[in-house]
Chains A and B, each alone.
Chain A
Amino acid sequence: MRTVFVATAGLETAPLANGSVVYNLKTSKFIMLNPSANLIWSALSRAHSEQDLVDLLRDRYDGVDASAARQAVQATLRELQQLELVAQREGEAEPIEAGAPAGVRASGPDDGYAPPSVKVLDEEDLLKVFQITAAEISVASCWWAACTAGCP
């Protein structure tokens, strides 16, 4: 038996190109996670120890030393607990999934490490994040025949 952490029930997650946004229905808060915070968060769909998460972070990001990784994980867990996204209990840790946990985007080799960031979004922040440009829409099909060269 050891101290493990696991995501609380009743939360919803929306993936972003870089990270994710979590909605806590109980507190009505929207929380944006950057890629490294999202890596930790996604692993917490199962119970894991602090050490598991440190190993996960170091495994994913080359060059992050053990001390920095531990500090980052501890700070992230503290913030996630304060926001009622994660609960702590005594129990058995579950194995870390091979590869990226569910919901974590496969990253390219040039994706550098930035310390985990957990940010509460207000209404304007959220509206800002969830927007799509006309060019993005047109990727699926040149959309309203707006292009004049090389594009239907």
Chain B
Amino acid sequence: MTPPPTKVVRGVTLRADPAREPCFQVVHDSAQLADYADMSDVARRQRLHKHMHNEMQSLEMAAQSLADFPDATWELRMCLARQCWDESRHTRLLHGRLREIGGRKGEFPVMNYEWSITCMADNVWARLAIQNRTFEGGEIDLLRRLVRMWADAGDPRTAELLEGILADEIQHVRFSNVWIKRAAKEDPGVLWKLASAVNFVRAVTKGLQPAPGEVNAVGVDMTGFEHVEVLANVADRRLAGFSEAEIAQILEQEDALQAQPRRGAAAATPGPA
């Protein structure tokens, strides 16, 4: 694989951004995002816009793996190709819903966070470990929460849409688990590629962490909340092929995070609705 073009954000080297239509304003740092802390009308549009763009990145990451690793097993490539189809469908669904509530493509700045991390990996196992097992594994946890959040906010239509996306994401995590575990039986080095990839994500996450009190483009304190409320979606992680031991470990890590001293209560300064 040819070394990819890169960019440097807060001292961290990441994959350069994929192409975007002119309507999008691409930013490189979460401080430049206009993410809101509430469920006001503008915040709803921004949340759907962000989710839509995340699905776009998911499509691009899976497609880039197909392009970068032509020698991967055909059946694995078929899984990636099917994932491309799923992610493109998710993007269209979210775009449609965004338009229904009065939003438009390019209304908010976007950041290619997952793409920039995942596509630094130079082998398919690391890509699966980062995109599918880590990011989409986390998305399984998040989506279960988001479904409830939108339903509670009086928007069952968006909640239902997200429930459908969740079902697909479980399959994306599942096929990565199946393939990684299958390949590791023949070559334990696959597991080392996974371990190195996960440590890369940890290092990037640490490097990109905002400084205390740092606010984003709409004045929201980015360190005012600990994010520990997003907990493992055990039932769906089980469906996605995580073992009981892996799930128990994730729960243990969450307990440890929750036990840490909090940086402070939620410090939202919501922007204009």
Binding site for B on A (CB under 8 A): 12, 14-15, 21, 23, 25, 28, 30, 123-152
| Chain B residues, Cβ within 8 Å of A21 | 195
A132→B253 CA distance, assembly (Å): 8
For residue A149, give the distance in angstroms from its CB to the closest CB of chain B: 5
Known: A21-B195, A141-B113, A151-B266. A131 touches B35 (CB 8 A): no
Among B37, B54, B142, B218, which residue has its beta carbon within 8 angstroms of that of A150?
B37
A86→B189 CA distance, assembly (Å): 20
Binding site for A on B (CB under 8 A): 30, 33, 35-39, 46-47, 50-51, 54, 111, 113, 129, 133-135, 137-139, 141-143, 145-146, 149, 180-181, 184-185, 188-189, 191-192, 194-196, 198-199, 201-202, 204-210, 216, 218, 220-222, 224-230, 232, 243, 245-246, 248-250, 253-254, 257, 265-268
Known: A134-B141, A144-B142. A124 touches B224 (CB 8 A): no
For residue B19, give the distance in angstroms from its CB to the closest CB of chain A: 22
For residue B167, give the distance in angstroms from its CB to the closest CB of chain A: 16
A sample of 12 inter-chain contacts (CB < 8 A) reads A124-B243, A130-B199, A134-B141, A134-B230, A142-B30, A143-B113, A146-B145, A149-B266, A150-B265, A151-B37, A151-B220, A151-B268
Contact B243 A135 (CB under 8 A): no
For residue A151, give the distance in angstroms from its CB to the closest CB of chain B: 4
